[in-house]
Amino acid sequence: MTSNNRTYYAFLMMAVLLIAVGILQSWNVAFNILNLCVISAIMALGVNMQWGYAGLVNFGIMGFVAIGGLAGVVVSMPPVAEAWQAGGSRLMLGFGVMLAVIGVATIFWRRTQSWKHLPRRRYLIMAAILICGYALFRYIADTAVVSIEAVDPASTGYLGGLGLPILFSWIVGAIAAGFVAMLIGKIALGLRSDYLAIATLGISEIIIYVLKNEDWLARGVKNVNGLPRPVPYEIDLQKEAWVNNLADGMGFSVVNASSIIVKVAYLSLFLAVLVVLFLMAEKALKSPWGRMMRAIRDNEVAAEAMGKDVKRRHLQIFVIGSAVLGLAGAMLTTLDGQYTPQSYQPLRFTFLIWVMVIVGGSGNNYGAIIGGFIIWFFWIEAEPIGLWLMDVLTSGMSEDSALRAHLLNSAAHTRLMTMGLIMMLVLRFSPKGLIPEAKR
Amino acid sequence: MMTDLINALVLIANFILVPGLTYGSQLGLGALGITMIYSVLRFSNFAHGEMMSFGAMVTILMTWWMQSQGLTFGPLPTALFALPVGIIVTIGLTLTADRLVFRYYREIKAPPVTLLIVSMGLMFFLGGLIRFIIGPNDQKFFDGERFILKARDFKTMTGLSEGLAIKSTQGITVVLAVLMVSFLFWFLTYTRTGKSMRAYSNNEDLALLSGINPERVVMVTWIITAVLITLAGTLYGLDKSYKPFTYLSLLLPIFASAIVGGIGSPVGAILGGFVIAFSELFITFAYKRVLGYLLPEHLEPSGLMQLLTTDYKIALSFVILVLVLIIKPTGIAGGKTL
Amino acid sequence: MSFLIGKDMVGGYGGANILNGCTIGVDKGEIAVIVGPNGAGKSTAMKALFGMLALSSGEVLMDGQNIMHLKPQERVKLGMGFVPQTANIFTEMSVEENLEMGAFIRRDDFSDTMDQVFTLFPILKEKRRQLAGELSGGQRQQVAVGRALMTQPQLLMLDEPTAGVSPIVMDELFDRIIEIARTGIAILMVEQNARQALEIADKGYVLVQGENRFTDTGKALLADPEVRQAFLGG
């Protein structure tokens, strides 16, 4: 089966599966899955750029997605005037001080390149600058943070956002994530692949920690609810005549119909983004730039010998891929309508996306999308299927057997096992994934 | 004045020194496993945390069985005596994992990144398996005497206002860690097999030329690693508590310890473990009371005087890691270069 | 009859053949040297004799036995010793441990052999507890040779043993090699420093493009004006 045929069949199979879910479970569920599939596919595209084009192992996916989600909050939520009055300006002053300190430290570091023979003195002064700067920052910022968080902590207790339409946040999220990626890339990209993996994992952990603990920013673990929407609310739709007619015609309840319409609205937005990204990615892949990236990936030493600035190329890809992740993060938060830092767990995001990329076939954009769809679908459906399977398997046992109870309870964990197994099997027997990279 | 100073020291000993030695030992044991696999099999094993969890799980199951049979051992935790079973089963796990999962990639000479990603798949699988068997919740399996030295008794003995407590799990951890590390060092330095492992790690081709059997070296490495991870996992679970999820988050400090100490160097792994453990404690400790003892009355601080809040503990190990990677990538003890 | 002989060896690393039917042999107590321009196939010939390269045609016989199908480790057990050109010591192990590893396949007491190596290379005895990686270039070569001698081989093959060492060290190394040959071990050497190597050679093979171009005693080759002009700089 050629690559192209495989792609068609894969998409076809996905459509069939989704329709099956719609019929057997509910259309609402089917569309929800589809929406998340699209978002996952976008994330997989981003990671695939980094891994497939440049061979970079980014385990910090979660961090970039969270930054994208943060953009959703910062862009769209209304500003909390009281909080700004209480400590806003002082906090900004604190940050200004911090930036100044970093600036001074960087200048000092660069200016003293020639001090290689006096390393101890250089490190000591550097440490002194940073420590004093940090102390000053804390002195200014701590009181500001306390007063901000004291402003009606039950419903706000944070600075709020800019009050702009939430769709802007998609772009802001991408830029913010890309910016952070640039900072990280400068430090970490020189490392060997497995070190890069560990480094990116750790950095994303830090990002999440900051988000969970700095309440003044996005309420930390108290979450931000009620984010503004780019699509209509179900309640409003239910009042519309056309919605009621449609519901009657299709045999749904009005509530159901409105819910599905909302999901379809989101779907169209997401699909639009996916298609645009995909086209851009494919174009890039086939362009001279794409060929150069792959040349570097396949033989870095030779590429460097030919004068290609490998480090800069890697940074480019890292930033672009991470920007895509930020975009997806903003989209996800938009869909959820809320920002919950606690949901950013390594398991959910980072490793699942990696399974998608591996299964789909690294270096292949079609594959990344299909991988995203398939893996997400199975991740969600594994629990009901697992339960059903467990039910069937244990139907022979007596009703109150402890073993039966335990097995039924543990059905949820089989999906972890299955994911791991799938990943290992694909890596072993079909390492190029389901849709191998086409030879160009 | 003198008593104030001693009180301050006791505070530090109680909240930093003793926990630091314990946690550092646990991290060190974990990091030793990482470093051994890295040296000999040349890849970073992301499934390490879940393997520790597995070893602990088997020990816990055995402990429960023993407890249900009335097999207890007075002041010592039953888990200690369940350890051998845990170790044997975990050896089975590691050898099976190598045979079924990792060996293939060794044979095709796959790059280390591939092995890392494969180990991630194994991590998923094991994580699910463990939760399937024992459930995702907190499990307590400690029994026996909880304290070697109680704070109250200490205060009575010394007449100080601050108490020093030493839990039995802390003592056991440090003792077992010292024993294990000593044994490992003796093994690597003085036995023929140990030397062959060092040789294989140092120069694979020359080792093969010398007639060293690679499969045997790999097997011994996995066996030793299994012992290390069962010990580390069980001791951690005994000391704090066993919850499958924690082992995933331990992965980072353990890797950090191995890298900070110098990956590929057993000495480094131990040193790294203590560096990370003590840094975490020093930086998140609330110095308020210590300063209260040391400073005159009117200078006493009102805030907690933490350098960083407790939440940043795990983030800290990563920051240290990055600093080491930038300044001295081979780590403290100078392990393999990147 | 040569102790070791590779006849009409043809082979390469996949695509083109590097060896095009050359013959190399060495007797016990003899020093045979392979010289030639870069790319001539000198190291390749040695690797083929050792079993690290598969030959598409030809024969390799040791003590009359056909050893073509044997893996390098098996040839070591039969009495071959090999000193690679690079990465030929365990840098993170002590000198003494390096020698121990050399004797790894031996199950008997090898302390006598170790004493012999220390007698041959007295510096190593002095630095026996030092990490091999900390020694100078010449001393490291001594460790490498000593390591190979620990199996008490009947044949010792050295791949460019004097690469990158100073002339004085090179002289010393060659002296030692002569001493080793005197104990009855067959020595086969690939060398870049053709002139000095041929001076101690009982047999010299000049390889060009994987074929034997000149074969004679070392002295004869040195005296031959054609050889001198082409390979020894006149």
Could you write out the DSSP letters of every residue in A109-160?
Answer: HHHGGGGGG-HHHHHHHHHHHHHHHHHHHHHHHHHHHHHHHTSSTTT--S--
Is residue B253 within 8 A of residue B20, CB to CB? The reply is no
In a domain, C105, yes or no: no
In a domain, A57, yes or no: yes
pLDDT of residue A440: 46
**CA B179, B183, B185: angle at the middle one, nearest 5?**
120
Record: contact A213-B338, CB cut-off 8 A: no
Residue C229 DSSP SS3: helix
The CA distance from A372 to A399, in Å, is: 39
Is residue C92 within 8 A of residue C131, CB to CB? The reply is yes
Q: How far is CA C83 from CA B200, B320, C11, C52, C86, in A?
A: 17, 43, 21, 13, 9
Q: Look up tokens 């990792």; give the residue.
A: B102
* pLDDT of B57 higher than 80: yes
Supply the CATH number for residue C18's domain. 3.40.50.300
Residues 195-214 of A with CB under 8 A from B: 195, 197-199, 201-203, 205-206, 209-210, 212-213
Which of A343-357, B186-200, B324-338 bottoms out in mean pLDDT, i.e. has the lowest?
Answer: B324-338
pLDDT band of residue B45 (cuts 50, 70, 90) is: very high
Record: contact B199-C93, CB cut-off 8 A: yes
* pLDDT of B93 higher than 90: yes
To the nearest whole number, what is the mean pLDDT of chain B? 84
Which range has the top average pLDDT, A332-341, A372-381, C136-145? C136-145
pLDDT of residue A1: 47
Q: Comparing A346 with C21, which gets the higher pLDDT?
A: C21
* Neighboring chain A residues of B120 at a CB cutoff of 8 Å: 351, 354, 423
Which of C46, C101, C151 to mutate to test binding with chain B, by most B CBs within 10 Å of its CB?
C101
Which of A297-306, A331-340, B45-54, C97-106 bottoms out in mean pLDDT, i.e. has the lowest?
Answer: A297-306
Q: Comparing A147 with B184, which gets the higher pLDDT?
A: B184
In a domain, A427, yes or no: no
Q: Comparing A434 with B328, which gets the higher pLDDT?
A: B328
Q: Comparing B263 with B106, which gets the higher pLDDT?
A: B106
Q: How far is CA B26 from CA B229, B254, C34, C186, in A?
A: 10, 9, 57, 55
In a domain, A296, yes or no: yes
* pLDDT of A438 higher than 70: no
pLDDT of residue B337: 46
Is residue B266 within 8 A of residue B326, CB to CB? The reply is no
Which domain covers residue C49, as residue numbers? 1-76+194-234
pLDDT band of residue B102 (cuts 50, 70, 90) is: very high
Determine phi and psi for B147, rounding to 5 degrees: -120, 135
Determine phi and psi for C217, rounding to 5 degrees: -75, 160
* Neighboring chain C residues of B203 at a CB cutoff of 8 Å: 87, 89-91
Q: Among A268, A321, A271, A251, which Cα is nearest to A293's?
A: A321
Q: How crowded is residue A55: how many other Cβ atoms within 10 Å of its Cβ?
A: 21
The pLDDT tens digits for B303-319 are: 666 666 666 676 777 77
* pLDDT of A116 higher than 90: no
In chain B, which residue's Cα lies nearest the Cα of A187? B326
In a domain, C144, yes or no: no
In a domain, C5, yes or no: yes
Q: Comparing A178 with B298, which gets the higher pLDDT?
A: A178
Contact with chain B for residue A325, Cβ under 8 A = no
* pLDDT of B293 higher than 50: yes
> Which residues of chain B approach chain A closer than 8 Å at the C-beta?
43-44, 101, 104, 111-114, 116-118, 120-129, 131-133, 135-136, 248, 252, 255-256, 259, 309, 311-312, 314-315, 317-319, 321-322, 325-326, 338
Q: How many residues does chain A have?
A: 440
Q: Which domains does chain B have, with CATH numbers?
A: 2-327 (1.10.3470)
Q: Which two tokens stand for residue A154?
A: 């039950």
The pLDDT tens digits for B136-160 are: 888 888 777 778 778 777 777 777 7
Q: Comparing B96 with A100, which gets the higher pLDDT?
A: B96
Contact with chain B for residue A421, Cβ under 8 A = yes
pLDDT band of residue C83 (cuts 50, 70, 90) is: very high
The pLDDT tens digits for A367-404 are: 888 888 888 888 887 777 777 777 777 777 666 667 77
pLDDT of residue C117: 92
- A120–chain B nearest CA distance, Å: 12
Candidate from A192, A202, A428 with C-beta closest to B252: A202
Does this model's pTM top 0.80? My answer is: yes
pLDDT band of residue B198 (cuts 50, 70, 90) is: very high
The CA distance from B256 to B23, in Å, is: 14
Q: Which chains touch B (3 or more CB pairs under 8 A)?
A: A, C
Phi-psi region of C119 (alpha: psi -120 to 50; beta: other; left: phi over 0): alpha
* pLDDT of B284 higher than 80: no
Is residue B253 within 8 A of residue B314, CB to CB? The reply is yes
Candidate from A194, A206, A409 with C-beta closest to B116: A194
Residue A235 DSSP SS3: helix
In a domain, C42, yes or no: yes
* pLDDT of B95 higher than 90: yes
* Neighboring chain A residues of B114 at a CB cutoff of 8 Å: 427, 431
Record: contact A57-B101, CB cut-off 8 A: no
Candidate from B116, B128, B322 with C-beta closest to A197: B116
* pLDDT of C59 higher than 60: yes
Which domain covers residue A58, as residue numbers? 30-79+160-343
pLDDT of residue B216: 93
Contact with chain C for residue B208, Cβ under 8 A = yes
pLDDT of residue A18: 82
To the nearest whole number, what is the mean pLDDT of chain A? 80
Q: Which chains touch A (3 or more CB pairs under 8 A)?
A: B
Contact with chain B for residue C163, Cβ under 8 A = no
Q: E strands of B96-194, at which residues?
A: 147-149, 166-167
- B199–chain C nearest CA distance, Å: 6
The pLDDT tens digits for B217-234 are: 999 999 999 999 999 999
- C156–chain B nearest CA distance, Å: 14
Record: contact C90-B203, CB cut-off 8 A: yes
* Neighboring chain A residues of B109 at a CB cutoff of 8 Å: none
Q: Among B235, B190, B316, B324, which Cα is nearest to B27's?
A: B235
Determine phi and psi for B134, rounding to 5 degrees: -110, -5
In a domain, C35, yes or no: yes
pLDDT band of residue C157 (cuts 50, 70, 90) is: very high
Is residue B194 within 8 A of residue B202, CB to CB? The reply is no
In a domain, C21, yes or no: yes
The pLDDT tens digits for A40-80 are: 999 999 998 888 878 888 888 999 999 998 888 888 877 77
For chain C, the domain total comes to 1
pLDDT of residue A434: 58
Which range has the top average pLDDT, A29-33, A239-243, B125-129? B125-129
For chain A, the domain total comes to 1
Predicted ipTM beyond 0.95: no
The pLDDT tens digits for C158-205 are: 999 988 788 888 888 899 999 999 999 999 999 888 888 888 999 999
DSSP secondary structure, A379-393, as one string? HHHHHHHHHHHHHHH
Contact with chain B for residue C71, Cβ under 8 A = no
